[in-house]
Amino acid sequence: MIQKLLINQECLSFFIFIIASLGLCCFMLILSWFLGGRSSSRNKNTPFESGIVAAVNTNINFSVKFYLIAMFFVIFDVESLYLYAWSVSIHESGWIGFFESFAFALSLLLALFYLIRIKALNWIS
């Protein structure tokens, strides 16, 4: 009975923390909307770079492949952080942790082979 009460108290304190955090964020957004200045002029929509007005049109269209490569990099980089955390705690995880991390690394390799197979990493096509 006491253990259930402690779990409920921990959950309640967590939800109070989440509600307070969201309330603080909403309060700051609403306060900045009320206190912030508003100007709607033509100069507001022009790009400003180091105090110099742009002489030429700076709209450059990038290929979607740049974004795909960036997303692949972020995904595999975050997954390498998981492998680093596993390597730090290898003594505590034992053989079960080893096989789980092996399955995780295998899924990474399968994802990489899939990306190569669908030619997502080719620049020429």
N-terminal to C-terminal alpha carbon distance within the chain? 65
The answer to whether residues 70 and 114 belong to one domain is: yes
Residue 103 belongs to some domain of the structure = yes
Can you tell me the distance from the alpha carbon of 89 to that of 102, in angstroms, rounded to the nearest whole number? 14
Give pLDDT, residue 24: 97
Residue 56 belongs to some domain of the structure = no
Give pLDDT, residue 18: 94
Give pLDDT, residue 6: 62
Residue 121 belongs to some domain of the structure = yes
Residue 46 belongs to some domain of the structure = no
Six token digits for residue 64: 């979607």
The answer to whether residues 67 and 123 belong to one domain is: yes
Q: Is 56 left (phi over 0), alpha (psi -120 to 50) or beta?
A: beta
Length of the chain: 125
**Boundaries of domain holding 65:** 61-125
Residue 44 belongs to some domain of the structure = no
Q: Buried b vs exposed e over 65-104: b needs ≥16 C-beta within 10 Å?
A: eeeeeeeeeeeeeeeeeeeeebeeeeeeeeeeeeeebeee
Give pLDDT, residue 21: 97
Residues in Cβ contact with 58 at an 8 Å cutoff, skipping those fewer than 6 apart: 47
The answer to whether residues 29 and 75 belong to one domain is: no
Mean pLDDT, the chain cut into blocks of 10 residues (125 residues total):
66 90 96 82 69 70 82 84 84 86 89 87 74
pTM: 0.48
Please check whether residue 108 is in contact with residue 82, taking contact to mean a CB–CB distance below 8 angstroms.
Answer: no
The answer to whether residues 84 and 26 belong to one domain is: no
Give pLDDT, residue 10: 75
Q: How many structural domains does the chain have? A: 2
Residue 87 belongs to some domain of the structure = yes
Q: What is the CATH number of the domain that holds 79?
A: 1.20.58.1610
The answer to whether residues 13 and 68 belong to one domain is: no
The answer to whether residues 24 and 81 belong to one domain is: no
Can you tell me the distance from the alpha carbon of 49 to that of 47, in angstroms, rounded to the nearest whole number? 6
